């Protein structure tokens, strides 16, 4: 039976470290770390995420600035707000909650965020820096997954790592971070043939597909580390991952639950990135 990787516990440790450093910054430099969170429209899932991010800011002693904009906000208006936040010295990190309403070009907004305040690490410059392994900010979800893997004590170096999913925010950067740790990485996607043959060779399996129960126990190598990034809302309102937990936990060595696995880590890593941004900006100002 697999050992459960407790994302709530690991994220609490990360946040405690961030809180201690934020308190030190305040004491030594009089600086209160600030995160601006922008939400456009009434997407209920986005509202839940934004509330969790605000709550995490409180926990670690950051100031949070929320900008809740109307669904009909124009791209120009949003760009103007980003411009104001880029120049606001109280704001160290800017997060624009995605998805945005269809009439707004997400890339145009991401590209407008100051690279030094891009705590989601979605700006093409930060994405490029991740590619070459010289980064200030790691994308929050893959960085959280790396923390969870580190927590198991399993070394990535030399291991067969399989990532299912190739999105810009999870799958691709995830594969890159595993590669930086010298894993032998295979990326699977919707056109991949015989996926189970590939996953059965994975010592470390990261699943980010967005389909409930996509990975079943028979697709997992005995003793593997299985990280379930999926967050799927079922008709009964319950949250479930991409991995069929009951069969998977019988095969895996370590496994994350949903909820309580990767989700809390994503937010903890956002706090870590915001702290990094504040430290960098305070150095520049001196």
Among 34, 101, 142, 230, binds ligand NAP (CB under 6 A): 230
Catalytic residue check, 116: no
Using rule CB under 6 A, residue 171 touches ligand NAP = yes
Q: Do 104 and 43 form a contact (C-beta atoms < 8 A)?
A: no
Task: Please state, in angstroms and rounded to a whole number, the distance separating the CA atoms of residues 90 and 144.
Answer: 26
> Which pairing describes strands 93-96 and 34-40: parallel, antiparallel, or unpaired?
parallel
Distance, CA of 50 to CA of 106 (rounded, Å)? 17
Helix (H) or strand (E) holding 255: strand 254-255
Exactly one of 189, 196, 201, 238 binds ligand NAP (CB under 6 A); which one? 189
25 scored as a contact of ligand NAP (CB under 6 A): no
Rounded Cα–Cα distance for residues 73 and 109 (Å): 13
**Catalytic-role residue among 15, 97, 279, 281:** 97
- For the beta carbon of residue 236, count every other beta carbon within 10 angstroms: 6
* Of 272 and 279, CB closest to ligand NAP: 272
User: Considering 15, 116, 117, 120, which one is annotated as catalytic?
Assistant: 120
93 binds ligand NAP (CB under 6 A): no
User: Is 250 labeled as catalytic in the residue annotation?
Assistant: no
For position 176 contacting ligand NAP by CB under 6 A, the verdict is no
**CB closer to ligand NAP, 10 vs 25:** 10
Secondary structure, 3-state, 183-223: CEEEEECCCCCCHHHHHCCCCEEEECCCCCCCECHHHCCCC
Helix (H, G, I), strand (E, B) or coil at 250: helix
Site string for ligand NAP, 260-279 (x = CB under 6 A): --xx--x-------------
Residue nearest to ligand NAP (CB): 167
Do 270 and 17 touch, CB atoms closer than 8 A?
A: no
Token pair 């002693």 in the structure block, residue = 61
Q: What is the largest CA-CA distance in the chain?
A: 57
* Candidate list 15, 53, 172, 221, residue with the active-site label: 53
The phi, psi pair for 201, rounded to 5°, reads -100, 0
Reported as type and span, the H/E element at residue 66 is strand 63-69
User: Residue 120 catalytic?
Assistant: yes
Using CB under 6 A, count the residues that bind ligand NAP: 24
Binder of ligand NAP out of 162, 229, 269, 270 (CB under 6 A):
229
Does 143 participate in binding ligand NAP (rule CB under 6 A)? Answer: no
Residue of 52, 167, 186, 216 interacting with ligand NAP (CB under 6 A): 167
Cβ proximity to ligand NAP: between 164 and 275 the closer is 164
**63 touching ligand NAP, by CB under 6 A:** no
Name the residue nearer to ligand NAP (CB basis): 113 or 215.
215
Binding site for ligand NAP (CB under 6 A): 141, 164-167, 169-171, 188-192, 195, 208-210, 229-232, 262-263, 266
């Amino acid at each position: 039976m697999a050992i459960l990787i407790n994302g709530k516990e690991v994220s609490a440790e990360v946040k405690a470290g961030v809180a201690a450093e934020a308190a030190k910054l305040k004491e030594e430099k009089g600086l209160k770390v600030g995160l601006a969170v922008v939400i456009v429209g009434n997407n209920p899932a986005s509202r839940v995420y934004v509330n969790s991010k605000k709550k995490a800011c409180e926990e670690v002693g950051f100031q949070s600035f929320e900008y809740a904009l109307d669904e009909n906000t124009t791209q120009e208006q949003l760009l103007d707000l980003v411009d104001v936040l880029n120049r606001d010295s109280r704001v160290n990190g800017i997060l624009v909650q995605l998805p945005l309403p269809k009439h707004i070009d997400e890339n145009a907004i991401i590209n407008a965020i100051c690279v030094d305040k891009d705590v989601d690490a979605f700006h093409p410059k930060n994405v490029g820096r991740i590619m070459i392994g010289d980064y200030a900010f790691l994308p929050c979800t893959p960085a959280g997954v790396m923390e969870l893997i580190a927590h198991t004590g399993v070394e990535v170096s030399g291991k067969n790592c399989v990532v299912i999913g190739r999105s810009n925010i999870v799958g691709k950067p995830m594969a890159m971070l595993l590669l930086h740790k010298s894993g032998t990485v295979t990326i699977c996607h919707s056109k991949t043939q015989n996926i189970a043959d590939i996953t059965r060779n994975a010592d470390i399996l990261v699943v980010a597909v967005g389909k409930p129960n996509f990975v079943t126990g028979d697709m997992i190598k005995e003793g593997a580390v299985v990280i379930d990034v999926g967050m799927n809302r079922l008709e009964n309102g319950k949250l479930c991952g991409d991995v069929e937990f009951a069969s998977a936990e019988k095969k895996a060595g370590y496994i994350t639950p949903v909820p309580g696995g990767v989700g809390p880590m994503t937010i903890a890593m956002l706090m870590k990135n915001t702290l990094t941004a504040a430290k960098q900006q305070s150095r520049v100002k001196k």
